Structure 1
Amino acid sequence: MEWIYLIAAGFLEITWAVALKYTEGFTCLWPSLITGAAMLGSIYLLDISIKTIPIGTAYAVWTGIGAAGTALIGMAFLGEPRETGRFFCILLIILGVIGLKINF
């Protein structure tokens, strides 16, 4: 169950990172509330997951999901560059996360 919490924490990290773009320095109410709630939820679920998953593994998976997911959303919906090198590097992050899960 802790791995499900960890994956959910990673998706909440994606949520707050994308929402942060729209807060305009935390002057826009709804994006700011979404950012704050997603941050709190992400940290809470990470905390639950580290009760059985080693912190190094959990943190690497959490940040990997957040980094790869946010980069993919940026490329798909926010007009960020879609270069082959970027996709390759994101693939490496994803493979690293899978490797950590398999070797845990």
Structure 2
Amino acid sequence: MLAKVTDLESRSRRKNIRIVGLPESIDGSHPSTFFPNLLMEVLGEGVLDSPECDRAHRSFTDKPKPGQRPRPVIIHVHRYQQKEKIIREARARRGKLL
């Protein structure tokens, strides 16, 4: 039973993308609409057609104090292939994204 639960949890995390280093105030009040638009802007619309984002949020830790690192953003996309495409493009542009 425990193996089955672990497998289901792993499969649910499979389509997650973790973005680190974005300022806390950048996402506004609707992160589920903001981050797909940010990805299209950064990666280019030719590379990425409107990603289907099921949910997006900051990691569930305490809000950092001024001067500390911002919390990572977790984006759950609808399709695994879309997640892989985003990761591949981000790695190809490492250091040149923003």
Q: Does TM, normalized by the shorter one, top 0.5?
A: no
User: Higher strand share goes to which structure?
Assistant: 2
User: Higher helix share goes to which structure?
Assistant: 1
Instruction: Provide TM-score, normalisation by structure 2.
Output: 0.26
Instruction: Provide TM-score, normalisation by structure 1.
Output: 0.25
